Amino acid sequence: MKAQVNGITLHVKDRGQGLPLLLVHAFPLNHTQWESQLDMLTDEFRLIAPDMRGFGASDAPPGPYSMDQFADDLAALLDHLNIEQVVLGGLSMGGYVAFAFVRRHAARLRGLVLADTRAMPDSDEARAGRETNAQRVEQEGPGFLAETMLPDLLAPGASPQLRANLQAMVENNPPQGVAGALRAMGARPDSSELLAQIQVPTLVVVGEQDKVSTIDEMRTIHESIANSSLVTIPDAGHLSNIEKPAAFNAALVEFLRGL
Ligand code: MLT
């Protein structure tokens, strides 16, 4: 489905009926990251998975982009779909967007799923690296990111097929969108103080072998959110929902049924 929101067109998968779960993909992926969830959970729940602005088949307008703008796109998408409240789930960059959504649209949250993400902002060094990568993406496209990032995103046992799928996902994103998102991630604020203000039930999920957002970081997020539970996914790295969909989905279903 195509949705006109905030002056742009978003490409959105909207499948199933029941409690709505809005899923926000990681960087530099697209909504197909959630294919296993869309396939396996829509008998019981309504899953909404957009390509965020700048990714996949959504518009990639000129920057600057920001986490606030991504969050506002989601709120506008909910308006478009006539949905008042959702469970919002985000993995990694999707989690950064979820934090912005908490700041700006908390009343629309029924629950939160924070997967393999970080509350801390970038260090100065990491921010400078984002800018270098953004300029390189503008010059040569996003393909090189697949080579530099994938080794850190997946647990060692990940299949060649999965690696190839992810590589294609990365390469097919519009350069302008990827560069915009890199700068937006570099500029994202510290969300550690925000965690104590989160009131809604929250599921915190992390792949046991996640090198990007470690179990320790995710445990801190869990311990800072009063009404939260922590689930670790064995044999998964940073992209836990893709690497071990059965375990990820089991945690999600238990959480959603409990709401
Ligand atoms: C992601 O998976 O979305 C990225 O690793 C996030 C980041 O680069 O900070």
Give pLDDT tens digits for 189-246: 999 999 999 999 999 999 999 999 999 999 999 999 999 999 999 999 999 999 999 9
Looking at the DSSP bridge assignments, the partners of residue 111 are 87
Q: pTM value?
A: 0.98
CA–centroid distance, 107 to ligand 1, in Å, is 26
Show the tokens assigned to 43. 């008998």
**How do beta strands 46-50 and 8-15 pair?**
antiparallel
Show the tokens assigned to 216. 């320790």
Tokens 């090189």 appear where?
A: 144
Best residue among 24, 25, 27, 149 to mutate for probing ligand 1's pocket (most ligand atoms within 8 Å of CB) is 27
Listing DSSP states for 15-48 in one string gives: E--SSEEEEE--TT--GGGGHHHHHHHTTTSEEE
Among candidates 97, 98, 94, 93, which has minimal Cα distance to 109?
98
Best residue among 29, 92, 240 to mutate for probing ligand 1's pocket (most ligand atoms within 8 Å of CB) is 92
CA–centroid distance, 26 to ligand 1, in Å, is 6
Give pLDDT tens digits for 40-88: 999 999 999 999 999 999 999 999 999 999 999 999 999 999 999 999 9
Angle, helix 93-105 to helix 67-80, in steps of 10 degrees: 70
Give pLDDT tens digits for 76-95: 999 999 999 999 999 999 99
Nearest CA to ligand 1 atom 7: 93
Q: Is the CB of 185 under 6 A from ligand 1?
A: yes
Residue 188 to residue 68: CA distance in whole angstroms: 9
Which run of H or E residues covers position 228?
Answer: strand 228-233
Residue 232 to residue 103: CA distance in whole angstroms: 26
Best residue among 65, 132, 185, 239 to mutate for probing ligand 1's pocket (most ligand atoms within 8 Å of CB) is 185
